[in-house]
Amino acid sequence: MAQIHRNDVGSLVFDRSGGGNFRLWSAFSGAAFRRKLLDSMLCGVPRHHYDDDAGVVESPVEKPNQKERQNRSDSKRNGGSESLSELMNLTEASETGVYETEVERRRKIEAFEELQRVVKKLQLEEGSVQMEAAMDVRRLAKEDSEARSTLAMLGAIPPLVEMLNSNDQDFQIASLYALLNLGIGNDTNKAAIVKAGAVHKMLKLIECPDESPNLPVSEAIVANFLGLSALDSNKPIIGSSGAIPFLVKTLQNVHRNSSAQARQDSLRALYNLSISNLNISQIVETDFVPYLLSMVDDMEMSERILSILSNIVSTPEGRKAISTSRDAFPILIDVLSWTDSPGCQEKASYILMVMAHKAYRDRQAMIEAGIGSSLLELTLLGSTLAQKRASRILECLRVDKGKQVSGVYGGIRGAVVSAPICGSSSNGESKEGLTEEDDEMMSEEKKAVKQLVQQSLQNNMRRIVKRANLPQDFVPSDHFKTLTSTSTSKSLPF
């Protein structure tokens, strides 16, 4: 047997067996040959190594590639399952949303059908069925704003107003409270109720000159006037209908049967009506203004009362009614010292400011009532708004006082005395151009100024001492005399 050695390709063995034929054998296995062929196809890139023991060729890149393919297949399988899960959840959510929308739609349809049935009963039925329908309107409109609008749109207001003609008090009360709830927070319904003639029908229910009106009916009417008067267009209609005297009587409790709630509602309704100047004359014609002034010290109603007076003072007849009332200015001036109620101070100072600007007679009445010390205190201790108003009142009174002084000392001679009021010069002689009578008058004016300043300082110091819980004799009275004796050259504090 002859053996031929290869150089770098491999070795071949010629084996002759049998009939002298030769067979070519490879020096490596078939698997190794296939890998060799694969390497040659890959341009000879070195990718393999040989295992000396087993003679098996392994690829170091093969296992990571297998893991990557496995991960990809797993991720595809997982991703597919996740996408399917998300799709199923989205479908379920969509179905739930559609279901909820359908339920909401059905609920709205049922609610609308119920409102239709109620209005139909109001319009077509009579007796207990109609009263039951009015009670249903009251219930449905109590807290549902959409129901109020829908009921009015379906025509619930006219039959409810027509029910006020009934002689049955249960019918009247059911209708009144149904109308009251329909007007809550709905200006369109308020205007429609008044337009349907409800105000005049309500007043007919309490037109009993000899007998007191039924208390539940009266309270329901007062509550309706309160709600309806909140709309500006309704104010003159209600005021001219005769509702103001009824409200005033309810507030004054003339029949001794008005509840506390009815009185509060009457006061608030009168405030709403007083906003319109067209109603001031109606308010003044009653004895309402003196009653308000007498009730200012009622802390539960004082601020509302002063608000009404602030509206009344805006017209000439209102100012006249206030100024001609007994103790009007002392009462209002006393309010200026209510340091625990700045809102009342601001409203009282507004009323006095308007009256001081408009009439000389009112300014004189304020001075006589001792407004000077209260204004001085308010300019020091009041709120910002109250201080501004007090300063304006002081300015009005100061200008008015300056005119008086000019008229006394410069009328005939045409001279205006603007210098400090002093009767004599440093050498004891009278000033040139002034007679002894003028000198005496100036001395009296000087004494009046000193007395007023001293009184104002005393009042202010007493209040300060009282608030600080100091002894009453903390500041001796001689201290005020010393202060005023050094201020003789000052003009009036107002």
Q: What are phi and psi of 487, to 5 degrees?
A: -120, 30
Tokens of 284: 């003044």
For 43-86, write each residue's pLDDT tens digit. Answer: 544 444 444 444 444 444 444 455 555 555 555 555 555 566 66
Q: Please check the confidence at residue 23 and state whether its pLDDT lies above 80.
A: no
> What was the pLDDT predicted at 398?
84
Identify the residue with better confidence: 486 or 165.
165
Task: Label residue 216 by pLDDT band (50, 70, 90).
Answer: very high
For 259-292, write each residue's pLDDT tens digit. Answer: 899 999 999 999 999 999 999 999 999 989 999 9
Q: Please check the confidence at residue 252 and state whether its pLDDT lies above 80.
A: yes
Q: Please check the confidence at residue 485 and state whether its pLDDT lies above 80.
A: no
Between β-strands 21-26 and 12-17, what pairing exists: parallel, antiparallel or unpaired? antiparallel
Residues linked to residue 4 through DSSP beta bridges, in sequence order: 12
Contacts of 406 (CB under 8 A, 6+ apart): 416, 417
Identify the residue with better confidence: 105 or 226.
226
> What was the pLDDT predicted at 336?
94
Q: How far is CA 298 from CA 272, 291, 301, 340, 437, in A?
A: 20, 12, 6, 14, 51
Task: Label residue 135 by pLDDT band (50, 70, 90).
Answer: very high
Mean per-residue pLDDT, 389-399: 90
For 323-338, write each residue's pLDDT tens digit. Answer: 999 999 999 999 999 9
Residue with tokens 């059911």: 174
Tokens of 216: 């539940």
Q: What are phi and psi of 95, to 5 degrees?
A: -65, -40
Of 124-128, 166-170, 198-202, 391-395, minimum mean pLDDT range:
124-128
Report the C-alpha gap between 370 and 494 in whole angstroms. 11
Tokens of 394: 């002081």
3-state secondary structure the chain: CCEECCCCCCCEEEEEECCCEEEEEECCCHHHHHHHHHHHHCCCCCCCEECCCCCCEECCCHHHHHHHHHHHHHHHHHHHHHHHHHHHHHHHHHHHHHHHHHHHHHHHHHHHHHHHHHHHHHHHCCCHHHHHHHHHHHHHCCCCHHHHHHHHHHCCHHHHHHHHHCCCHHHHHHHHHHHHHHCCCCHHHHHHHHHCCHHHHHHHHCCCCCCCCCHHHHHHHHHHHHHHCCCHHHHHHHHHCCHHHHHHHHHHCCCCCCCHHHHHHHHHHHHHHHCCHHHHHHHHHCCHHHHHHHCCCCCCCHHHHHHHHHHHCCCHHHHHHHHCCCCHHHHHHHHCCCCCCHHHHHHHHHHHHHHHHHCHHHHHHHHHCCHHHHHHHHHHHCCHHHHHHHHHHHHHHHHHHHHHHHHHHHCCCCCCCCCCCCCCCCCCCCCCCCCHHHHHHHHHHHHHHHHHHHHHHHHHHHHHHHHCCCCCCCCCHHHHHHHHHCCCCCCCCC
Between β-strands 49-50 and 21-26, what pairing exists: parallel, antiparallel or unpaired? unpaired
> What was the pLDDT predicted at 118?
93
Task: Label residue 369 by pLDDT band (50, 70, 90).
Answer: very high
Closest CA to 232 of 264, 278, 265, 198: 278
**CA 318 remoteness from chain centre:** 30
Contacts of 187 (CB under 8 A, 6+ apart): 231
CB-side exposure of 158: number of CA atoms within 13 Å?
A: 6
Contact 280, 274 (CB under 8 A): yes
Contact 331, 299 (CB under 8 A): no
Q: Please check the confidence at residue 444 and state whether its pLDDT lies above 80.
A: no
Residue with tokens 């009417």: 221
Cβ count within 10 A of residue 306: 23
Percentage of residues in the chain with pLDDT exceeding 90? 49
For 82-106, write each residue's pLDDT tens digit. Answer: 566 666 666 666 656 666 687 788 8
For 406-427, write each residue's pLDDT tens digit. Answer: 444 344 333 333 333 333 333 4
Report the C-alpha gap between 150 and 437 in whole angstroms. 84
Count Cβ neighbours within 10 Å for each residue of 371-403 and write b for 16 or more, e otherwise. bbbbbbbbbebbeeebbebbebbbebbeeebee
Identify the residue with better confidence: 469 or 169.
169
Contacts of 370 (CB under 8 A, 6+ apart): 333
Residues linked to residue 17 through DSSP beta bridges, in sequence order: 21
> What was the pLDDT predicted at 103?
78
Identify the residue with better confidence: 36 or 437.
36
